[in-house]
Structures are given as C-alpha cells and as structure tokens.
Chain A
Amino acid sequence: MAIFSTSPLLASGQSVSSIAPTIDIRAIVRNHGSVAAVDHVSFQVQRGEFFSILGPSGAGKTSVLRIVAGFEDPDAGDVLIDGRSMLGVPPNRRPVNLVFQSYALFPHLNVFENVAFGLKMRRVPAALIDEQVRQALTMVKLVGKEGRKPAQLSGGEQQRVALARALVNKPAVVLLDEPLAALDQQLRQAMQVELKSIQEQAGLTCVCVTHHQEEAMMMSDRIAVMHQGRMWQVGTPREVYENPRTLFVSRFLGVSNELPGRVSEAAEGAALFQPADDLVPGFPVRSGPEPSAGCPATWSLRPEQLRMSRERPASGDTVLPGVIEKILFAGSETKYLVRIARETLWEARTTGNVQPPYASGDPVFLHWALGDGRVFFE
C-alpha cells in the first residue's frame, strides 16, 4: 500500500475536493486588543502546493498559522479546508498538522513513539502504526534512531522527527512555523533542499511561515508577503521579486537601491524621474500604470540590474557617477557600497575576479538598461 504516493493527484483519486483549493482563507481578522494582528487576510492554497507567508516578526503570520491550526479563532472571516468550514472545529479534529518552530517533541517519548503519537490518538491498529511510522522515518532518513529520546538527537534530527510526526498522519495540509529557524546556516541550506524534495515526493500541501526571504523563495511555489497584519502581495517568487507592488515588498525580498524624488514629466509611455537631491541628474524611467506626475515617489533598482565600470559607458544605458565607499568580499561575489548622492548609498556587485581590483575611494560609473527599475508612489 502506497502511503506516500509520488503523485498527489493520483492519491486523491480526482475527487471533487481536489478541484477546490485545499485551503481557502476568506478575509480573516484577528484582533489583539485594539490592534489587528491579522487584518482581512485572504488566500488560497492548491493541493500539492508549497505556499509561504513571508514577513518580518510581528507581521501576524504566526497568527494566521495558528488560526488555520485551530489554536486561535478569527474574529471575522472563514477558514475552509477541502471545502469545509473549520470555524468551531477544535485543533484535534482538523485535518492539518503543525510543525512547531521549537519542534515541541515529547521529551518522555522516543523517536518512534513521537512519530506514532498522532496515529495512536486516532486508534490506528498497532501493526499499521508500525508500518506507517517506518515509512515516515525512511522518508526523513531517521531509520535506526527509533529508540532515541529527543534530547539525544541533534537539531537537524529533531527537525526531521517533527516533520515525520506531522506527515505520518497524511494531513490535508502541513503547517510549518519557521521550520528551519533553529538550525545553523549550513544545516539550514541542506534542510531547505531536503524539505522541498520530501514535500514534492509525498505530494504534501504546505503552508510555511518564515521571515527568511531566501528560504521562502527557494522552497515555495507561491509567496505571500505579510506586513502589519495585511497581505501585500501574493505570487510566484519570481513575480514578487521582479514586480513588487510596494516599496516594502521590494525591500523585504532583496536589496533595493533607492532614490527619493518625483516623476516630473510623463509622456508617451516614458517619464522623467527627478531625484530629490538636485546634484543627481534626472533620468528616464518606464512609466507606471498611472503616471502621477509631481507626486513624491521612490525609484528602486535591484543590484543585479546595476553595472559598474571605471569608464563612462558608451551604450544607451542610464549612467550615474559615484565613489566606492566600502567593499564587502563574500566569496563568489563582491559587494560594493557606492555613494551616488549625499544621502544615498547603492549596492553594486561583481562576480569572479575583477582585474585590476576596485579599491575604496575609486570613482566609478553606475549604469543600467534604459527603463530598468521601478517607481513606487507613496
């Protein structure tokens, strides 16, 4: 019997519920005192999808997860799982399992008993428990450690037990609360790859909460950026990274080289951006959906779109002169903080070995393809 089918669609038998989204969150609100921790959040997650809620701490993302798990009730809105409303359904009756940030492994039970806990609570026959726990432990590569207590395991192993303990129940949705936050950098990167492959292999539907943008981008099919209780943008990692809807999203998903100013002229699909610092010359930008000329705005560009050279480039690029202020060597790439205005430092990058190397204090030209970058109105 295949406990973990390689294909989620075959496993679900193409039932009616597989067409409806597995999770359908409808305008949930959760107030903590006078503050809305969760403010009309809506999203849907499809079967087999890895969905991440990304945001800084205090954004309300953990509240969303706890509402889906049933530990908190929304003050308004609805939570549907496989088309069924979960309002008033206690956590132990919901077809979801949560992987806690602290793992919350039972210290008095060994690895086997921890993983078997959910099955035992549902009174699954012992022989079946045995088989299913073994399969889950094989999946997370913990075979041979069944008899260990959590205290005898490394952080990475504890993480795997927590994961196995959730997925052995074959929940409709696995909820992950900062799943890799407690691991050190190296282990974290290895686990990102592994978690993703387990998710794909088992066809799990996952909702993951994290403040780590790289982690979210690497593992997710779709990302929702959350801030101050609201969801600002939902999309694939590439969409959200390349077309951030707000300055906050742009900043949170990576480095954003910015200049404050205003759009001064808007004509024929192109506009002129006039930086607030009058020592910086204006330059043409792609006009946004509404070319609100005169409104205060911020222009933003990703570092990888920015090129750096000693000589003024002859191409049709937009060019700004600057001075290298700091050089940060990061192995495969080198980051340069370049001052382009009194108040403005931009980050440029080079990969490989640049000859002759740049030095602090070098005057350089920063340039980018005409129309790159985005204008955000305040």
Chain B
Amino acid sequence: MKPRSVGLHAVSLLAMLFLYGPIIVLVLYSFNAAHLSMTWRGATLKWYAALWHDEALLAATANSLFIALVSTIGATGLGGLLALGMEQMPHRRQQVLEGSLVLPLVIPEVMMGVALMLLFVTVHVPLGLTTVILGHIVFNIPLVTIMIRTRLRKLDPMLREAAADLGADSWQVFRYVTLPLLRPAIWGAVLVAFTVSLDDFLVTFFTAGPGATTLPLKVYSMIKSGVTPEINALSALLLVVSMMGVAAALSLQRREV
C-alpha cells in the first residue's frame, strides 16, 4: 500500500469513528447491567424488557407510529400529485416551484416549528395529534415530491406516447405505465417520509399538545431526570428501525425497474 493511501485510510477511519463512535457506545451501554451507566457490570437484556412494561413509553410509541403512518400517507399522496402536476407545467413555473420546494428543507427546523405553532394558534386549531400530523406532512411533502420527480424525469416520454398510441386513454397511461414505473420511487419516498416523521423532534415539539407525546419527546423528557440504560435501549431500537427504513429506501431508489 502506498504511504499516501495509508494516510487516506487513517483519516477516513477517524472520520467514521467520529461519526459512529457515540452511537456504538450508546448501543453497547444499552446492554450494560449497571444502573448508573458509566461503569460496565456485565451484559443484560433487562432494559429492553423494561421498555415493554413502561406504559407511558408504549403510549408514546403508539403515538409516533400513528403520526408517522398518517403523515406518510398524506405526504406521499400530496407530494406525488404535486410531482405529477409539475410535469405538465411550463418549464419556468417548474423551476420556481422547485426552488420553493427546497426552501422548507433548508430553513432551520426551529423556525418551521415555531411558524407552524403560531399558525395553528392563530387559526385556533388546538395543538394535538392532528397538528403534529399536519406539521409532519408539511416537511415531508418536499422530500416525497423531489424523490418521485427525480424518477419521473428519468422516464422515457416515448413510453407514455407508446401507450397512448396503443389505445390507452390518459388514465390508462397512468395506471398501466407511469404508476408501475414510479412504484420503486413511491415506496422509497414512503420509507423516507416514515423514518423522518418517526425521528422528528423539533416540529413535533412545537406542534404537539397534551396527549400527543411522541417517542423523541418522551426520550427528551426522560433525559431530564438522568440518562438511564432504558433510554439507551430505546435509542438502539429506534436506530435499528431508522436504519432499516433508510436501507430499504436506498435499495428501492437504486433499483432501475
């Protein structure tokens, strides 16, 4: 191995360690038998077991899953329709819309959260599950639209012409050609939206009311009374779920029909 590439490998290894070190430690300590987390007292699964008996935690999990499910369906539907609609627009308007789509992704999420909260308060919508779901739909629409649009633009426009030429009306062209070809992108978008919704803290924090505590909110409130290994176990589980979601989304995105 050339000396230069040894250095390169060392640097990338350090970078990886920097990124994943804390996560590895967290996962390791979720198996720690000790109550006070920093000393190792042998391996155990009892914190994972304890999770299943924590009523408040289970309620938060149920909230999170429900919010993720509904907001994903909403965001995928609206975002998908937006992507399809944009294709029909003149080029200039597409560019303008594309720019405004990226905006929610780049403005600080705190601002998004505060803005949404102010909006809900102004129009007298009581904060609760509904407002959290609406908030999640808002930040997931751009993600979904961009993912589906990327795929849509790669589709050969001739395919739609061929379908029309073979007697398909516009609904049949969509049903039998466009939709099946978009399916991998749609599933990818669903997984990403679901994962992002499940993990979201800031927007949820500002838009949640009583009875709408999600898993990340719950973890945050538990941490105020000290980091217990139970939180480690919960985080490890969340990590696994998120990673599976992202991996599935990536593999779907990569699959070219």
Interface, chain A (partner B; CB < 8 A): 69-71, 90-93, 96-98, 100, 102, 104-108, 117-118, 120-122, 151, 165, 169
Contacts and interface: CB of A to CB of B under 8 A. Distances in A.
B87 interface: no
A92 B162 contact: no
Nearest to A66: B161
Contacts of A169: 166-167
Given A69-B165, A106-B162, 4 more contacts: A100-B162, A107-B257, A117-B168, A121-B163
Contact of B168 (A100, A105, A121, A151): A121
Contacts of A122: 167
**Interface residues of chain B: helix, strand, loop or mixed (majority):** helix
Contacts of B181: 107-108
Contacts, number: 62
Contacts of B158: 100, 102, 104
Contacts of B168: 92, 117, 121
Nearest to B168: A121
B177 interface: yes
A118 B165 CA distance: 8
Contact of A91 (B161, B172, B257): B161
B113 to A, nearest CB: 41
A118 B166 contact: yes
A188 B164 CA distance: 28
Nearest to A168: B166
B176 interface: yes
Contacts of A117: 163, 166, 168, 176
A146 to B, nearest CB: 18
Contacts of A96: 165
B79 to A, nearest CB: 22
Interface residues of B, number: 18
The listed residue with most A CB atoms (<10 A of its CB), out of B159, B167, B168, B177, is: B167
B55 interface: no
B85 interface: no
B54 interface: no
B136 to A, nearest CB: 31
A120 to B, nearest CB: 8
A128 to B, nearest CB: 15
B164 A118 contact: no
A92 B177 contact: no
Nearest to B172: A121
A69 B167 CA distance: 11
10 contacts: A70-B165, A71-B164, A93-B167, A105-B162, A107-B181, A108-B180, A118-B167, A120-B176, A121-B167, A169-B167
A97 B257 contact: no
Interface of B: 156, 158-159, 161-169, 172, 176-177, 180-181, 257
A71 B161 contact: yes
A151 B256 CA distance: 11
Contact of B177 (A97, A98, A106): A106
Given A91-B164, A92-B164, A117-B176, A104 B169 contact: no
B179 to A, nearest CB: 10
A106 B160 CA distance: 9
A151 B255 CA distance: 14
Contacts of B161: 71, 91, 98, 100, 104
A121 B168 CA distance: 6
Contacts of B162: 98, 100, 104-106
A92 B167 contact: yes
The listed residue with most A CB atoms (<10 A of its CB), out of B161, B164, B165, B180, is: B165
B164 A106 contact: no
Nearest to B157: A104
Nearest to A149: B257
Contacts of B180: 108
A96 B166 CA distance: 8
Contacts of A93: 167
B254 to A, nearest CB: 15
A164 to B, nearest CB: 12
Given A92-B169, A117-B176, A121-B172, A104 B164 contact: no
The listed residue with most A CB atoms (<10 A of its CB), out of B158, B164, B176, is: B164
A285 to B, nearest CB: 49
Contact of A92 (B156, B159, B165, B257): B165
A110 to B, nearest CB: 12
A71 B167 CA distance: 13
A107 B159 CA distance: 9
Given A102-B156, A106-B159, A97 B166 contact: yes
Nearest to B169: A92
Nearest to B257: A107
A307 to B, nearest CB: 49
Contacts of A120: 176
**A-B pairs, 5 with minimum CB distance:** A118-B166, A104-B162, A104-B158, A121-B167, A91-B164
A181 to B, nearest CB: 14
Contacts of B257: 107-108, 151
B175 to A, nearest CB: 10
Contacts of B167: 92-93, 118, 121-122, 169
Contacts of B156: 102, 104
Contacts of B163: 106, 117, 121
